[in-house]
Structure 1
Amino acid sequence: MKIARVIGTVTLARMHPAMQGARLRCVEQLATIDDLDQPVYGGETIVAWDLCGSGLDDCVAMAEGPEAAQPLKPRTVPIDASIVAVLDHVDVD
């Protein structure tokens, strides 16, 4: 699981039938925990399926790979990344 920041929304003209009703977000993975308080810094942009109703500038937990589609089983969905939690506060000791 990785921490990322929502930077935008993706709109599709045509999509796979399994994607009906999906919300796709553009997220930027944070390189270090110190980047939590920084504005968007221009890292790699990833398109992720939004399972939580996140909004612009929200910090989120993101799953990638086969684990990203796991919450949607038994339905087969063509995704490689999903937002699985909206983070209110991150505390690192």
Structure 2
Amino acid sequence: MKLARTIGTVTLSRSHPAMKAARLRCVEIVDSVQRIETQPLGGDTVVAWDLCGCGDGDLVALAEGPEAAQPFRPDVKPLDASIVAILDEVDL
């Protein structure tokens, strides 16, 4: 699981049928906890399925790889990243 910040929405003109009614968000990976409040974060940018209804600028938890599709089992979804939580606060 990684921390990321939403920076935009992805719009598709055509998509796989399994992605019907999907909301895809563009997120930037938080590469260092010291830079969590910096804008822009400077991390990698990823397109992720939004399970939480987050908005632009929200700090989120991001699941990647096979774990990203686990909430949809037994359905098969062609995705590699999903937003699984909106984070209100991070204390270290």
1:30 maps to 2:23: no
Counterpart in 1 of 2:68?
A: 68
4+ runs of 1 displaced by more than 4 Å? none
Q: Which amino acid aligns with 2:36?
A: L
Following TM superposition, by how much is the alpha carbon of 1:41 offset from its aligned partner in structure 2, in angstroms?
A: 3.2
Count of matched residue pairs: 92
Q: Contact (CA 8 Å) 2:31, 2:42: kept in 1 or not?
A: no
Following TM superposition, by how much is the alpha carbon of 1:43 offset from its aligned partner in structure 2, in angstroms?
A: 2.5
- In 2, the alpha carbon distance for the partners of 1:35 and 1:70 equals 30
Per-residue CA shift, 1:17-53, capped at 9, x if unaligned? 1101100000000011112111113321100000000
5 Å-filtered alignment, 1:38-53, equals: 38-53=38-53
Counterpart in 2 of 1:91?
A: 91
Counterpart in 2 of 1:7?
A: 7
- In 2, the alpha carbon distance for the partners of 1:60 and 1:43 equals 14
Gaps of 5+ in 2: none
Identity of aligned residues (%): 62
- In 2, the alpha carbon distance for the partners of 1:41 and 1:29 equals 7
When the two chains are superposed, the root-mean-square deviation of aligned CA atoms in Å is 0.8
